[in-house]
Amino acid sequence: MRQPILSTSRLTRQFGGLTAVDNVSIDVDPGTVQCIIGPNGAGKSTLLNMLCGTLQPSSGQILYDGKSLLGRRLHEIARLGIARKFQVPTVFNSLTVEENLILAGTINPQGSSRDVDEALAMIELREVAQLKAEFLAHGQRQWLEIGMALMTKPRLLLLDEPTAGMTSDETAKTASLIRGLLGQVTVLAIEHDIHFIRALNCYTIVMHQGRILASGSFDAIEHNETVRDVYLGRQ
Ligand SMILES: Nc1ncnc2c1ncn2[C@@H]1O[C@H](COP(=O)(O)OP(=O)(O)OP(=O)(O)O)[C@@H](O)[C@H]1O
């Protein structure tokens, strides 16, 4: 049996009297793509914040490659090969797509960076490599930021609502880009957009009120009565 690259055990975070993440245990196998979905306030962002070190858990454990992430600083976690792409792209407008990727590679906490051409191919932006980022469409900016995260050769890529604000075509393309990463980078994405998750068709964890309500293949999740009641039924 393969050791999960990431595993949480009874992970919990309280804010005063509110338990935002409540005893969450997940395993992420290397090279896979997994999604976490759930309604507003389900605890998805709080969970992601604990995984990348911006928030410390109240209790529970996070193991990455068998090592505990508890108490580690952000840069230490980045150096271990965990990268996060936030909802709002933080690309440099006055630089070209290629220059943005090169820059991301130079601030790589792990040392060696990915080849720019390889990153351009992974995010399918070769044709606009010499275009300044200010002229990119919203979706392209998001893909560029995924590319910037990939420049650091992460082993685990955490994505925070990667399709926020995208058109349906852009959402479909994002799903295809991320599927293309299967086997190369482990991806854990939190998302609202059910069309994206359906297109990705990956192992899916449903959170509700801080807890895991269900998990399994997207097909199993889509046909789960409880999930339909609390979440999918409202889409
Ligand atoms: N810093 C904080 N202080 C107090 N409460 C917080 C804090 N961060 C999150 N919460 C609360 O924790 C709960 C879970 O929030 P969280 O943002 O993790 O949910 P989410 O599933 O990511 O929601 P959304 O999809 O709307 O982003 C919510 O009730 C939220 O108000």
Can you tell me the distance from the alpha carbon of 56 to that of 156, in angstroms, rounded to the nearest whole number?
Answer: 19
DSSP class of residue 112?
S
Annotated domain spans of the chain: 1-81+156-164+182-235, 87-154
Per-residue model confidence (pLDDT) at position 1: 59
pLDDT tens-digit series, residues 45-64:
999 999 999 999 999 999 99
Any ligand 1 atom below 6 A from CB of 43: yes
Report the atom number in ligand 1 closest to the C-alpha of 190.
22
Taking the centre of ligand 1 as the mean of its atom positions, its distance from the CA of residue 132, in whole angstroms, is 35
Phi/psi for 110 (5° steps) reads -95, -5
Taking the centre of ligand 1 as the mean of its atom positions, its distance from the CA of residue 190, in whole angstroms, is 13
The whole-chain average pLDDT of the chain stands at 91
3 state DSSP class of 15: strand
pLDDT exceeds cutoff 90 at 127: yes
pLDDT exceeds cutoff 80 at 44: yes
Q: Where are the beta strands (DSSP E) in the chain?
A: 6-15, 18-28, 33-37, 59-64, 67-68, 82-85, 156-160, 186-191, 203-208, 211-216
- Note the ipTM here: 0.97
Torsion sign (Cα): 214, 166, 180, 4: negative
* Closest protein CA for atom 12 of ligand 1: 20
The pLDDT-based confidence of 40 (bands split at 50, 70, 90) is: confident
* Closest protein CA for atom 4 of ligand 1: 15
Any ligand 1 atom below 6 A from CB of 15: yes
Classify domain 1-81+156-164+182-235 by CATH number.
Answer: 3.40.50.300
Taking the centre of ligand 1 as the mean of its atom positions, its distance from the CA of residue 42, in whole angstroms, is 7
pLDDT > 90: what percent of the chain?
A: 72
70, two tokens: 């508890």
- Mutational test site, ligand 1, from 11, 46, 196, 205, max ligand atoms within 8 Å of CB: 46
3 state DSSP class of 74: helix
Any ligand 1 atom below 6 A from CB of 49: no
Taking the centre of ligand 1 as the mean of its atom positions, its distance from the CA of residue 41, in whole angstroms, is 5
pLDDT tens-digit series, residues 177-226:
999 998 889 999 999 888 899 899 899 999 999 999 999 999 999 899 98
pLDDT tens-digit series, residues 50-102:
999 999 999 999 999 999 999 998 889 988 999 988 666 689 999 999 999 99
Can you tell me the distance from the alpha carbon of 84 to that of 229, in angstroms, rounded to the nearest whole number?
Answer: 31
59-64 and 33-37 beta bridge pairing = unpaired
